[in-house]
Amino acid sequence: MDSEKKDIREWYQTAFADFENSLNGGASLPFHAVRKKAIARFAELGFPSTRNEDWKYTNIAPLLKHQFQPVAEAPDIAAESLAPFLFKGLDADRLVFVNGVYNEALSSVSNLPDGVILDTLENAFTTHADTVTQALGKTVSYEEETFSALNTAFARTGVFLSVPAGVVLERPLYILHVSKTEGREFLAAPRNLFLFGDNSQARLVEGHYNLDGGTSFKNSVTEISVGADALVEHVRIQDESKDAFHFATTQVEQATGSNYTSVAIDLGGSLVRNNLNVHLAEERCEAHLIGFYFGSGRQLIDNHTMIDHAVPNCESNELYKGILDDRAHGVFNGKVMVRPDAQKTNAFQQNQAILLSDDAHIDSKPQLEIFADDVKCSHGATVGELDDESLFYLRARGIGEQEAHAMLRLAFARDIFNYIKIDAVRERLEELVVERFNNKA
Amino acid sequence: MSTENDTVKTPQKSDYDDKFGSAEQQETIEKLTQSDYKWGFTTDIETEVAPKGLNEDTIRFISAKKKEPEFLLEWRLKAFRYWQKMQEPHWPNVNYPPIDYQDAYYYAAPKPKKELKSMDEVDPQLRETFEKLGIPLDEQKRLAGVAVDAVMDSVSVATTFKKELAKHGIIFCSFSDAVQNHPDLIEKYLGSVVPYTDNFFAALNSAVFSDGSFCYIPKGVRCPMELSTYFRINAANTGQFERTLIVAEEGAYVSYLEGCTAPMRDENQLHAAVVEIIAHKDAEVKYSTVQNWYPGDKNGVGGIYNFVTKRGICLEENAKISWTQVETGSAITWKYPSVILKGDNSIGEFYSVALTNNYQQADTGTKMIHLGKNTRSTIISKGISAGKSQNSYRGLVRVSKNADNARNFSQCDSLLIGDKCGAHTFPYLEISNTTAKVEHEATTSKIGEDQIFYLNQRGIDTEDAIGMIVNGYCKEVFMELPMEFAVEARNLLAISLEGSVG
């Protein structure tokens, strides 16, 4: 095991050299020095074992059995093949990435309001060098965590969005990631940077899908800065192949009076780890972290969230729900930190899970760390099965067992979907989930 | 008189907004925070000590001193050798300077030691100590049937009510006596719930434990009285390693009480006890603790390190183990009284009040391991942090694959008094069975200004008001304590609160 870990670590170090050569001009940019430091740091950090508290329930051994190759060029895909992932009736600007590589032909961006910058990170390195250099890596450091280091080392592109103060993006931005492995086990390291100015408003929809099954390793890092009184809604849908490894770190920084909502839906992937960290850096912020996951087969879905109340008068609200079937394994670790002097904090956290099979397993760890006294904080966690009485009620009205089950599960999930304000996305998602339930029922 | 002068003289409400209602209340709190540990004193009794340091010779010395049978020495040595290979754990949410295990005495027995037939023969100075603690031994006899096995620095000095207990076939004696008189029982049960490989401090305890209590309730016997042991750390610089073993045979019932106070001193003392409980079919064991060891002074100097392993096992069906603890003392408390619910329909309970003040740190909670079918567990934990203290609840609820219809309800509340303290909750839920119903709730809040105001209005001063509110907050736990203990706990909380509110 240890030798395997070492081997695979060396593999990524070797892969880095190839990656460097494929960068062409990219290797001469200032960011490349950061990549080099990150790969060196990665070599020191190594991969975490389950003896590390943050990875106590998530064994990444399966990931270390593969040698994932960074991609430079993505296969061509037909525009029609994206159809299942486009939400019917959704009027949005769209950026499409295939295997982590930007595909301009499939993307469509309308006229954006003045001052808005929307580009790939790769372009932004040269066109907006100052802004990017200043902001990138400011909140997610490659120093501390293996997967952030690995992402920094292999970061080639991603989305760069800057919305100036006072601007409202009327149309949502849809970032669509599709994978097509064609038998090649590839590594993608999307790196996104979102900067929202004061009083701005935006809606982001992120989708992660797969076209041909197969094994891939996506390790993304997203940094989001929400300016004063800005309003940001962020929906993230992950429905990768059942053999995919999906690691995502999202770090949100909030300024005075801002409001950030994250709705994270996880349906696919064989090993999924989401780190969602929100730093409430200034007063009167509001953060809503909402999530739903449905695991079947041998999936492992791990959601780690951290809400850091650093100053007084902020509010956070967290609700994660999961359904686990077959041999699926769910992990929830939600930490709420209330720093000294962060008085008048309101923090609520709920985590609910339903197990459908005796081989399914949930590890839930809601944590409160509180250093201020005038606060209202609570958390709750429940694990159980579908309510017998509700089931009986439905059956008594002539509804078949399977259908009744599906109805109750949908009702359970709908609490989460209702947080999605974009109708087209919510409706499609409900359809999709019902389909999954019926396949499993 | 100008308005300007007025504002100088009258403190503004905003000054106290985040704390308590009025300036007067603030003062009361300030005053009370200064109060010292009331029960600090040392008894001057000559002790016979083992040489400082820890090695196989120390262990042989302890074992020889206690005339232990071969199997026990072997077991101690195995534990010691295992311990040497272990690393001291540092995962809990507490901070303390490194412990030098070689710079401590591992055995200290009070002198003189002779067979005592009645209370009169007990060393008068020793009896005085108990008087100060408010546990006059001679009164205990008359008091509602509480038998006291007083442990003074690891060796039992007096045992009462032995005859009454013997009539029922109950064995209640010091651990050393049990080793001499019932070696078969010791060999059978020692380490069966907490093996020496369990953790660093359990291994250390297994190697060097000095004494403790042993309790055996035979089949079908309901123990006619509450069994009680008072532990007391006395000789300076002596690590205290108690070992308690309670066995309840089929259909037996026992309520066991443990309470502690300790003298004031400057050097930190390590206390690494192990408590094991075995409950057979239909048996019930109720274990209550009031812990009030020296918590260190108000600057965080001194105080006991209380690193304890407590675990019970419901071995067969319908067994029940209930832990109740009131933790107000110790500089650092680090313990998780746990229940392994192995038998079908067995029940585990954990009721806890943990109060920390000044620089005290507590990382406490429970583990409920559901293995059998229809097993149930309840966790009620009330944490109160004041001063600059840190109070953590850490608990595990595990429902294994075959534990059909397991139920758990957990409630962990934290109360914060003052804005320099911390309250933390780390629950772990690991569920592998669809029929499990597990609920966890946690809340954190401070004492309501309106509640204090309400009581003030009715002529109750702030100090009493806070005591009342906190007692009300802990009521669910106190109700689980035996009557005599409940009274003591309430007093203890009030006394601790005197120094804690602020």
Mean pLDDT of A373-401: 88
What pLDDT, on the 0 to 100 scale, is given for residue B42? 54
Any chain B CB within 8 A of the CB of A360?
Answer: yes
Query: What are A111-154's pLDDT values in tens digits?
Result: 899 999 999 999 999 999 999 999 999 999 899 899 999 999 99
Q: Where are the domains of chain A?
A: 2-282, 386-441
DSSP class per residue in A324-371: E-TT-EEEEEEEEEE-TT-TT-EEEEEEEEEE-STT-EEEEEEEEEE-
| List of chain B residues with pLDDT < 50 | 1-21, 29, 32-35, 40-41, 111-116, 129, 132-133, 136-148, 150-158, 231-238, 262-264, 266, 500-502
Any chain A CB within 8 A of the CB of B438?
Answer: yes
Q: Quick check: B440 and A53 CB within 8 A?
A: no
Q: How many CB atoms lie within 10 A of CB A108?
A: 12
What pLDDT, on the 0 to 100 scale, is given for residue B44? 52
> What residues contact A259, with CB distance under 8 A and at least 6 apart?
A226, A230, A231, A232, A285, A286, A287, A288
Calpha distance B168→B224 (Å, rounded): 9
Nearest Cα of chain A lies from the Cα of B98 at a distance, in angstroms, of 22
A366-395 residues touching B, CB cutoff 8 A = 366-385
Instruction: State residue A226 phi and psi, 5-degree precision.
Output: -110, 115
What pLDDT, on the 0 to 100 scale, is given for residue A412? 93
* List of chain B residues whose C-beta atoms are within 8 Å of the C-beta of residue A383: 399, 429, 431, 436-438
Q: Which of residues B291 and A302 earns the better pLDDT score?
A: A302
What pLDDT, on the 0 to 100 scale, is given for residue B6? 40
Residue type, B192: S
Question: Which residue from B350, B355, B387, B345 is spatially nearest to B366, judged by alpha carbons?
Answer: B350
* List of chain A residues whose C-beta atoms are within 8 Å of the C-beta of residue B446: 373-375
Give the chain B residue whose CA is nearest to the CA of A361: B432
Give the single-character DSSP code of A129.
H
Question: Which residue from A179, A208, A175 is spatially nearest to A192, judged by alpha carbons?
Answer: A175
Q: In a mutagenesis test of the A interface, which of B357, B405, B419 is the best target, namely the one with the most A β-carbons within 10 Å?
A: B419
Nearest Cα of chain A lies from the Cα of B152 at a distance, in angstroms, of 39
Nearest Cα of chain B lies from the Cα of A89 at a distance, in angstroms, of 39
Q: Quick check: B427 and A362 CB within 8 A?
A: no
- 3-class SS of residue B139: helix
Give the single-character DSSP code of A168.
B
Helix (H) or strand (E) holding B148: strand B147-152
DSSP class per residue in B88-104: ----SS---PPP-TTSS
Give the chain B residue whose CA is nearest to the CA of A360: B432
What pLDDT, on the 0 to 100 scale, is given for residue B463? 81
Token pair 């309470």 in the structure block, residue: B259
Mean pLDDT of A262-273: 96
Q: Where are the domains of chain B?
A: 27-500
Give the single-character DSSP code of A57.
T
DSSP class per residue in B357-391: -TT-EEEE--EEEE-STT-EEEEEEEEEEETT-EE
A49-68 residues touching B, CB cutoff 8 A = 53, 57
- What percentage of residues in chain A have a pLDDT greater than 90? 77
What pLDDT, on the 0 to 100 scale, is given for residue B472? 87
B424 → closest Cβ in A358, A368, A382: A368
DSSP class per residue in A216-255: EEEEEEEEEEE-TT-EEEEEEEEE--TT-EEEEEEEEEE-
A362 → closest Cβ in B431, B439, B444: B431
Cβ atoms of residues A370 and B423 within 8 Å: yes
What pLDDT, on the 0 to 100 scale, is given for residue B27? 59
What pLDDT, on the 0 to 100 scale, is given for residue A122? 92
* List of chain B residues whose C-beta atoms are within 8 Å of the C-beta of residue A359: 401, 432
What pLDDT, on the 0 to 100 scale, is given for residue B65? 80
Give the single-character DSSP code of A281.
-
DSSP class per residue in B430-499: EE--TT-EEEEEEEEEE--HHHHHHHHHTT--HHHHHHHHHHHHTHHHHTTS-HHHHHHHHHHHHHHHHH
* List of chain B residues whose C-beta atoms are within 8 Å of the C-beta of residue A361: 430-432
Query: In this structure, what token pair is assigned to residue B138?
Result: 């001679």
- Residue A324 CB burial class (10 angstroms; 0-12, 13-18, ≥19): buried
Query: In Å, how far are A62, A208, A291 from A301, measured between CA atoms?
Result: 14, 15, 12
* List of chain B residues whose C-beta atoms are within 8 Å of the C-beta of residue A340: 419-420
- What percentage of residues in chain A have a pLDDT greater than 70? 99
CB pairs under 8 A between A and B: 125
A358 → closest Cβ in B418, B434, B438: B434
Dihedral angle of Cα B142, B143, B144, B150, to the nearest 10 degrees: -100
